Amino acid sequence: VGSGTWMMVGSHAGHNASIGEGCILANGVGLSGYSIVGDGSVLGGMSGLHQFTRVGRFCMVGGLTKVVKDVPPFTLVDGHPARIHGLNVVGLRRKGFSQEDRLQVRRAYREIFVSSSIDREALTRLEQDQSLGAYVKEVLEFIHGSKRGITPWGSRRGHDD
């Protein structure tokens, strides 16, 4: 459990789970074994992570959300099962991300998730773009490192800058 992390009443971290720095796990959050929560992420009450799932940095997981696939960095997810509903704009602003950084990440996600699933050709194009910032590179590395698959994009698209 990282420095500055809050685990509220009834939260549980299973065996070999890892929680980054500055995270908030609201009441009743359950992390199954070997799950990983990245720095600065917030997990809403009664949300749960399946074994071996990863939540990237600075994510917001809504209350009662069932996470069965990896949640890429900087996203807002909700649902049963989880779906991505945009960037965690409020969290990114609070962490000091510039508007340009947020816009670059948003553009990358729009290319990657043309539909609800990942466009592999878009990943290849983005990897070859030398102008991309560190945050987009982090997203690409996270997606490539997934063993359980990536949480799909939800149907609503109006939740970012």
H or E element, residue 91? helix 89-94
Per-residue confidence band for 159, with pLDDT thresholds at 50, 70 and 90: very low
Q: What are φ and ψ of residue 121, in 5° steps?
A: -65, -35
C-alpha distance from residue 11 to each of 18, 46, 145 (Å): 13, 8, 27
Cβ partners under 8 Å of residue 121, min gap 6: none
The DSSP secondary-structure symbol of 69 reads: S
Structure tokens, 105: 């990440």
What tens digit of pLDDT does each residue of 53-80 get? Answer: 999 999 999 999 999 999 999 999 999 9
The catalytically annotated residue of 15, 85, 144, 159 is: 15
State the Cα torsion 17-22-23-24 to the nearest 10°: 130
Q: Looking at per-residue confidence, does 116 or 161 come out higher?
A: 116
What is the DSSP track for 97-161? --HHHHHHHHHHHHHHTSSSS--HHHHHHHHH-TT--HHHHHHHHHHHT-SS-BPPB-S------
80 is catalytic: no
Taking the CB of residue 82, how many other CB atoms lie within 10 A of it? 27
Per cent of the chain over pLDDT 90 is: 93
Per-residue pLDDT, 160: 46
Contact 57/20 with Cβ under 8 angstroms? yes
In order of start, what are the domains of the chain with their CATH numbers? 6-90 (2.160.10.10), 96-144 (no CATH)
What tens digit of pLDDT does each residue of 78-120 get? Answer: 999 999 999 999 999 999 999 999 999 999 999 999 877 899 9
79, β-bridge pairs: 82
What tens digit of pLDDT does each residue of 116-147 get? Answer: 789 999 999 999 999 999 999 999 999 999 99
pLDDT at position 15 over 80: yes
pTM beyond 0.75, yes or no:
yes
Q: What is the mean pLDDT of residues 25-31?
A: 99
